[in-house]
Structure 1
Amino acid sequence: MAAGNLVEEISDNLKLVVDAVKRAGPMAWALIGLMIVLYINPAQWIWRAWFREDGYYTHGPLIPLVAGWMVLTNKDRLARLPIKPNWLGLVIIVLCSLGFLASTLCHMNPPKYFIFVFYILGLMLLLFGTKITKALLLPWAFLFFMVPLPDAVIDIFTYQLRIFVTAAAVHLVDPLGWAIVKSGNYIYYPSGETLVVDDVCAGLRSL
């Protein structure tokens, strides 16, 4: 795809969004503004998590780009679908706003990042309607991969992966006749040396 064609397609899609916002009226602008106000700080946290040196989400910046590419590849199909705003979107937005408030009062930040993705779903329903939203469900759902999980959840995954990798390593060397012993994520050699399967060996970053 030539750069000029890509720019033209992006421009056409932006015009579609602007037209939908104009059709929805001032309330749409207000809800978009509310989203910016509510999620400016969580967005900064997500950005820092993406570029954290020892983080698991360095793929994060690619996710919105891939989701956008999914939308562009379905441009012709989307153009044929009618724009019929669905007020269920407003209900979702209100629930997301209440969830954001509850998370703030409870000092729980991670739920805010997932609520943000559902807020986008509400906007899609309100601005474009059910048919277009259904057509956009895959790129929308793909956005969840950009949201960092809480460290406690990641620790659970990495621990289980470490145990699995340790067991797999011992199983692979068993035919060689090495008398090694496994205990958790530790491997003990007959010589007395110990090998520790740490987080970096768990493979979560590779996944």
Structure 2
Amino acid sequence: MRSDIVIKEVTKEHSNEYAQIPMLGKFSSKYELQKVDGGLGGILFKEVEIEEYIKDIGLDQDPFEWESSFDLSNWGFFIVYHQDKPVAGITLAFDTEGVNMLAKRKDLTVVWDIRVAPEYKGMGIGSQLINAAKAWAKERNCTQLKIETQNNNVAACKFYKSQGAVLGEINEYAYYGDMDDEVMLIWYIELE
């Protein structure tokens, strides 16, 4: 990461800065799931090209609304700044009542939100954010990071895999009725 780009742990009071960071994804392929023997023989992922489109992934992730749904006292917030401008961020959920992804575990941190402005992608900022998340989670004696993505976000899947994440859950029906063409993929990073 360049020396004029810095990552800072911040508080929930910085949500206005966090919200300025765009969360746009460019999609040109997706993973199709191919079930072998009805799934009993495993599930194969095949990357297939699709008509390219851009999606604002952050439409349902409004940092201003998180506090109305959850107690954020156990949450972590990091913002990456370039010349005092917020360009990336990560939000972490830990030990919070009502966060279903935590599965009531006290040794798990969920990557609730991660975003990097498009012009700052490919600079290693995402890796720095994941490293910050790992350190933050370890300070709370967590054994795993948990991350949700979808089969149409191939870039995110490849990124999390490059960070040491393993695919732990596949839910074809998680978005049933809303986004029937998307499959939920849950990734785990083991913390030493």
Q: Higher strand proportion, which one?
A: 2
Q: Higher helix proportion, which one?
A: 1
Larger radius of gyration: 1
Q: TM-score w.r.t. structure 2 length?
A: 0.27
Q: TM-score w.r.t. structure 1 length?
A: 0.26
